Amino acid sequence: MATSIAARISRKAAASAFSAHRHVISSRCFATESAKTISPSSDRVKWDYRGQRKIIPLGQWVPKVAVDAYVAPNVVLAGQVTVYDGASVWSGCVLRGDLNKITVGFCSNVQERCVIHAAWSSPTGLPAETSIERFVTIGAYSLLRSCTIEPECIIGQHSILMEGSLVETHSILEAGSVVPPGRRIPTGELWAGNPARFVRALTHEETLEIPKLAVAINDLSKEHFSEFLPYSTVYLEVEKLKKSPWE
């Protein structure tokens, strides 16, 4: 009796061990087949399928970028946008000129993640286009819509300038400032707050530092500019396909 029971137990253990071994073998075979199926061919071209385009024409309007202006690869310029000589537009910015003109003047810079737009018209009667003139620094994450910024100004980070607002020359907006529609920032003054209010007049030394900051950022943009080719490198992959297997 004990012998028959031991025999049945040994047969059950052998059967379970065999089924487990067969499961492991089948799993390995399935993994091998999956790897063979998923792995790409060695001669497959690795194309870049990113959908974002830096230059987006809208109808007859094509964004214009000066030869020595730096525009980061992931910037979006759409419609009536002009970036002048020595200007720089940094990573993640969106300049959407679908309704009106947007200009970035000589040696001005628009820093990371800024959004610039322009309305059809301004309720104040002032020009609805967005104009950034020469030696202007726009801090990161700022929002500009149908405003005018005269030469040699600094707009702090996270600032918002609404329709028809005007920042006169040699002025500074502190970070986080909000300029309501139609508000004018007089020349040579420092403003801050939400809504923006007068803080104090700028000294002569402070006004001299404004264009120096723009020039320093322009020099920095040249280092970034040298890292990017003005044309795509897809032709290198095409040349690989044209080569014969024995070459």
Model's pTM, two decimal places? 0.71
Q: Where are the domains of the chain?
A: 55-227
Contact call for residues 130 and 100 (beta carbons, < 8 A) = yes
Kindly indicate whether the domain formed by 55-227 is annotated with CATH number 2.160.10.10.
yes
Q: What is the mean pLDDT of residues 196-203?
A: 96
What is the rounded distance in angstroms from the CA atom of residue 235 to the CA atom of residue 241? 10
Residue 151 clears pLDDT 60, i.e. is over it: yes
Mean pLDDT, rounded, of the chain: 81
- Write the Ramachandran bin of 125: left for phi over 0, alpha for psi from -120 to 50, otherwise beta: left
Contact 57, 77 (CB under 8 A): no
pLDDT tens profile 2-52:
445 444 445 554 455 445 444 444 544 444 444 445 455 454 444 444 556
pLDDT tens-digit series, residues 93-125 = 999 999 999 999 999 999 999 999 999 887 767
How far apart (Å, rounded) are the C-alpha atoms in residues 68 and 35?
A: 48
